[in-house]
Structure 1
């Protein structure tokens, strides 16, 4: 799978260039005039993760670009790359239930999907009282000095900031969950297993807080970095073209499960032709071996990247309610 910028942008029209060099002030969520379908709630606030700018940039920061991939004016399907100002887009519920979910959309570590695995899931959550934070994380192949740890750095920092600012959102700092999809599922599982890994130097008192989610839900996740189970594109963009076995192991969540990992909810379709369901089986087995609470759902049909919209009318459509019922038993509520 090619990972150069030309092939990434070839699948859609570049609609927006955002000021990615901006390092202070709240950056807007990825948006394009007229691109959002009318009547759907959009985030009206964002939280920049790094007050002095993201740590460890290469000499030249990437320029943020938003690609609209949908040809239907009523269904937006944006993807963003070149993220130099990592941030969270915030969705507030009308009646907060005191719990929050950090959402990590997928995109094969080539871009971050905005709508299908970000904003749509955030709307579902806020309709049920959860405060949702959609994470726009830096992409490792774009040259950050943290290398394969750069996305995890953003996820750890995001969890800590949510806890630091819990009073601003009427949430309990002990009731913050993580959910991710595909490559974002890898990031979610990485956060759920390496929440205490030292991936960046502390920048303020928020970094004294825990990055451990109360529970983690990797959905059709990339897990293994070892072929043939690995998703080749995610592996190459995360680790490079010829990673060592040691590097593969260091970034395969099922190889790094600690004894204090949070409970996991894992979901996959057996007919997934992009990320083999074996990834979820490996993670499930590793969690069970450590005695960590885990629930695994395998659906016969669903393919890859179904999120909410592509699950409609299929048995896999039930997955968000299955997660919610399970999450009540973890303390999330």
Structure 2
């Protein structure tokens, strides 16, 4: 779907006042302790659904934060029970006009906001990108949208970023997506089903395109079919007894449209959680549709390396590989 540049450029003017009036949800605190020194925390958030998220579960949810780190200098928060889907914003000192929507992993059990969210947000902001870390709702928590609930949040987030592009000195056509593990599935889902009707329009922002400029699923969950499927993500997304049709509907490599954006793919071949064949399946599907795709496979790296666990390994170069590739797409000028 072609993005209407005129409507994108006009949208921030029409929507800015309404957005500024919304009450925004704070970022999560570290349970039982102070935040580590030297790690800037985002103070700005954007709630996705001004009237409350649609399709609330029958069972009340309470947002819960678990601190998984044993190092007092590094946080590793996992958040679940999210009812107020939102984005945490990392603004650069000198914006380069490009934005990146980040979807952290967590196996659709929770959202790992530090290791695959805030750390990448800081890295991107230091290089001129405006980063938006998405706190998306989880499909196993009883939402009416079922397996499409996280995609609804990702689509809505992309549209809101474009609607508010003037607030962030962004070119609304240069908003990319990046995701990790199950968040890589969400990233790929957004980049292949950006035009799927998964929620009822809320406001003028929903007239804008949800198609990302480009997509970077990093060690992503892709297939919902054994033996390639990540069992935990599959169970929470489509259920243990999902039919082949339901599996296919939520396997991004089986839903690549002819107008999909360019992809950057990265995986370690010794990943013992999400088989590397997930990335290879997506690459083959993109190639079959003649979609631009850059692919990097590393011998070692395991799963969930993000930035911190890549240090000292050949795979630590991956962010700069992505940045160099992004320049070829016109995202990073």
Q: TM-score normalised to the size of structure 2?
A: 0.92
Aligned: 1:143 with 2:130 = no
Alignment of 1:107-126 (within 5 A): 107-126=106-125
Contact kept, 8 Å, 1:35 with 1:73, in 2: the verdict is no
Aligned: 1:280 with 2:279 = yes
Alignment of 1:133-212 (within 5 A): 133-212=132-211
Counterparts of 2:302 and 2:286, CA distance in 1: 24
Distance 1:166 1:146, change over 3 A: same
How far has the Cα of 1:35 moved from its partner? 4.1
Contact kept, 8 Å, 1:35 with 1:76, in 2: the verdict is no
Counterparts of 2:215 and 2:35, CA distance in 1: 29
Counterparts of 2:104 and 2:35, CA distance in 1: 18
Contact kept, 8 Å, 1:265 with 1:323, in 2: the verdict is yes
Contact kept, 8 Å, 1:30 with 1:114, in 2: the verdict is no
Counterparts of 1:34 and 1:91, CA distance in 2: 23
How far has the Cα of 1:37 moved from its partner? 1.2
Partner residue of 1:9?
Answer: none
Q: Which digits, 9 at most, give the CA deviation of each residue in 1:168-193, with x for residues without a partner?
A: 11111000000000000000000000
Secondary structure of the residue aligned to 2:264 is: strand
Contact kept, 8 Å, 1:94 with 1:129, in 2: the verdict is yes
Alignment of 1:1-333 (within 5 A): 25-32=23-30, 34-333=33-332
Q: Which sections of structure 1, spanning at least 5 residues, go unmatched?
A: 1-23
Partner residue of 1:15?
Answer: none
Secondary structure of the residue aligned to 1:190 is: helix
Counterparts of 2:310 and 2:120, CA distance in 1: 12
Distance 1:301 1:197, change over 3 A: same
Which 4+ residue blocks in structure 1 deviate beyond 2 angstroms? 32-36
How far has the Cα of 1:276 moved from its partner? 0.2
Counterparts of 1:216 and 1:27, CA distance in 2: 27
Secondary structure of the residue aligned to 2:46 is: strand
Count of matched residue positions in the alignment of Structure 1 and Structure 2 = 310
Counterparts of 2:155 and 2:329, CA distance in 1: 20
How far has the Cα of 1:68 moved from its partner? 0.2
How far has the Cα of 1:34 moved from its partner? 3.5
Counterparts of 1:69 and 1:112, CA distance in 2: 12
Counterparts of 1:134 and 1:29, CA distance in 2: 11
Contact kept, 8 Å, 2:53 with 2:83, in 1: the verdict is yes
Contact kept, 8 Å, 1:106 with 1:183, in 2: the verdict is yes
Secondary structure of the residue aligned to 1:102 is: strand
Q: Which digits, 9 at most, give the CA deviation of each residue in 1:81-132, with x for residues without a partner?
A: 0000000000100111110000000000000001100000000000000000
Secondary structure of the residue aligned to 2:242 is: coil
Counterparts of 1:157 and 1:72, CA distance in 2: 35
Secondary structure of the residue aligned to 1:79 is: strand
How far has the Cα of 1:39 moved from its partner? 1.5
Partner residue of 2:17?
Answer: none
Two-structure CA RMSD over aligned residues (Å): 0.8
Counterparts of 1:92 and 1:298, CA distance in 2: 31
Q: TM-score normalised to the size of structure 1?
A: 0.92
